């Protein structure tokens, strides 16, 4: 594959991931409108968020297994069409029950599509660019958080909650056309289902997945409640918090891309450095937020590090997965969502106990556990790349 074709493939995958990523959190900002239109409470409407998350965690690996022997290009296009169908059902749902169906249908393609996109990205670049390729595709999610979700929520508030889902349906169809045009043809994998199960059952893979879940839970413990933390403890206005969250998202975008390049050079050092930095930053958050200048610095630093774990951890999974990476990567995608859910529960318990300021300490403990787990899973010696999916340098 030529460099230009590889770039076009990465661009199409990134754009498609942006669409899928926007859908995940979009409805969270539209719950009052959804509840009023479909005659349910806001709390009940919030179950649409839960249903999507469960669909990603449970449905992603299931879809990866059911489609493990299908040709990769056709499967990628099919998953994007499945997402479009779910978005269309959501946009036209006359009842809350059908909205839930639409959300679940969309979620079934989420983890499987992202896993396939990440694996495909590593196949269209030179072996030494694996980390950068993963980060490029994953940046679609960071841009979705930075721009897609707030713009979608703004559209929903002005034109009704169905409008953003209509736009997502159209964009997903456009993404399907792009993928059909630029994706290289790939034969169906020769691996069997038991090969996929054996990969996930490997101790290093299980530890890497656990590292993903625990590490991201540490970030979510603080980030889920960062708005009340900044208003109640730091004393920022709601407008200032919006600006800080925008800066946080921009930092996440830059941190993800930087981590991809660092992963290409030295994965071990990158993973340890990011988890060490996260642990230290989260530990300082409770003390930094009492003064506005240090609170700003903490938010910016946390933004840079929060999504920087994606490229090295997915690269680590690919390194240990060998020729059967699809289920393992899909499970790892679910682990990010599981970590986010666990972190929000832990942070919520602290907030309920009146310890909003101290969520960072709980996050630091979780991040430290993630750092400890990396010591068990990282290769101890430099391992030569076996294929395009194993291209990072694993230097200590």
Are 170 and 226 part of one and the same domain? no
- Per the CB < 8 A criterion, the answer to whether 26 and 164 are in contact is yes
Residue 293's pLDDT is: 93
Are 232 and 168 part of one and the same domain? no
* CA atoms of 263 and 138, how far apart (whole Å): 14
In a domain, 156, yes or no: yes
Are 132 and 207 part of one and the same domain? no
CATH at 17: 1.20.1250.20
In a domain, 396, yes or no: no
Are 172 and 199 part of one and the same domain? no
Per-residue pLDDT of the chain (396 residues; tens, 9 = 90+): 444 567 888 889 999 999 998 887 788 778 788 888 998 887 788 778 778 878 888 877 888 777 777 887 888 899 999 999 999 999 999 999 999 999 999 988 887 888 888 888 888 788 778 888 888 888 888 888 778 877 887 888 788 899 999 999 999 999 999 999 988 877 666 667 777 778 778 888 888 889 989 988 999 889 878 888 999 999 998 788 878 888 888 888 888 888 888 888 888 888 889 999 999 999 999 999 999 999 999 999 998 998 888 888 887 787 777 666 777 888 888 888 888 888 888 988 898 899 999 999 999 999 999 989 888 877 665 444 344 344 444 444
Expressed in angstroms, the distance from the first to the final Cα of the chain is 32
Are 208 and 346 part of one and the same domain? yes
Rounded to two decimals, what is the model's pTM? 0.77
Residue 189's pLDDT is: 64
Domain boundary among 158, 182, 206: 182
Residue 386's pLDDT is: 41
Residue 62's pLDDT is: 83
> What's the sign of the alpha-carbon dihedral 274, 280, 285, 290?
negative
Q: Using one digit for the tens of pLDDT, what is the confidence trace for 243-302?
A: 888 888 888 888 888 888 888 888 888 888 999 999 999 999 999 999 999 999 999 999
Are 356 and 211 part of one and the same domain? yes
In a domain, 188, yes or no: no
Residue 384's pLDDT is: 40
Residue 385's pLDDT is: 39
In a domain, 395, yes or no: no
In a domain, 187, yes or no: no
Domain boundary among 182, 204, 228: 182
Are 290 and 359 part of one and the same domain? yes
In a domain, 70, yes or no: yes
In a domain, 301, yes or no: yes
Residue 91's pLDDT is: 93
In a domain, 261, yes or no: yes
Are 344 and 238 part of one and the same domain? yes
Query: Which residues span the domain enclosing 61?
Result: 3-182
Q: Using one digit for the tens of pLDDT, what is the confidence trace for 339-361?
A: 888 888 898 889 889 999 999 99
Residue 4's pLDDT is: 54
Are 159 and 199 part of one and the same domain? no
Are 215 and 142 part of one and the same domain? no
Residue 119's pLDDT is: 83
Domain boundary among 160, 182, 204: 182
Structural domain tally of the chain?
A: 2
Are 238 and 139 part of one and the same domain? no
Are 232 and 150 part of one and the same domain? no
């Amino acid at each position: 594959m030529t460099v230009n074709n590889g770039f076009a493939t990465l661009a199409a995958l990134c754009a498609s991931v942006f669409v899928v990523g926007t859908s995940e959190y979009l409805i969270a900002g539209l719950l009052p409108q959804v509840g009023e239109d479909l005659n349910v409470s806001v709390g009940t409407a919030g179950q649409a968020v839960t249903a999507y998350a469960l669909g990603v965690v449970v449905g992603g690996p299931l879809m990866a297994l059911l489609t493990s022997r299908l040709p990769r290009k056709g499967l990628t296009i099919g998953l994007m069409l499945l997402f479009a169908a779910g978005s269309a059902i959501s946009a036209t749902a006359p009842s809350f029950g059908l909205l839930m169906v639409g959300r679940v249908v969309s979620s079934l393609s989420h983890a499987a599509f992202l896993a396939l996109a990440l694996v495909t990205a590593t196949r269209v670049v030179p072996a030494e660019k694996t980390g950068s390729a993963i980060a490029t595709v994953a940046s679609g999610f960071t841009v979705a958080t930075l721009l897609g979700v707030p713009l979608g929520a703004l559209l929903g508030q002005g034109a009704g909650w169905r409008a953003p889902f209509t736009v997502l349906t159209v964009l997903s169809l456009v993404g399907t056309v792009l993928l059909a045009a630029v994706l290289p043809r790939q034969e169906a994998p020769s691996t069997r289902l038991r090969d996929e199960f054996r990969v996930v059952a490997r101790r290093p893979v299980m530890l890497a997945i656990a590292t993903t879940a625990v590490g991201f839970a540490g970030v979510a413990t603080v980030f889920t409640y960062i708005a009340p933390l900044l208003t109640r403890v730091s004393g920022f206005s709601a407008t200032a918090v919006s600006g800080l969250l925008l800066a946080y998202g921009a930092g996440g975008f830059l941190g993800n891309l930087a981590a991809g390049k660092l992963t290409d050079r030295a994965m071990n050092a990158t993973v340890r450095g990011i988890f060490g930095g996260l642990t230290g930053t989260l530990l300082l958050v409770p003390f930094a937020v009492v003064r506005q200048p240090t609170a700003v610095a903490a938010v910016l630093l946390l933004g840079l590090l929060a999504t920087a774990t994606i490229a090295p951890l997915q690269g680590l999974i690919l390194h240990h997965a060998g020729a059967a990476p699809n289920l393992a990567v899909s499970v790892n995608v679910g682990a990010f969502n599981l970590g986010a859910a666990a972190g929000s529960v832990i942070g919520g318990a602290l907030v309920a106990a009146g310890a909003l300021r101290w969520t960072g300490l709980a996050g630091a403990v979780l991040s430290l556990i993630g750092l400890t787990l990396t010591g068990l899973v990282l290769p101890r010696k430099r391992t030569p790349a076996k294929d395009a999916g194993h291209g990072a340098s694993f230097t200590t």
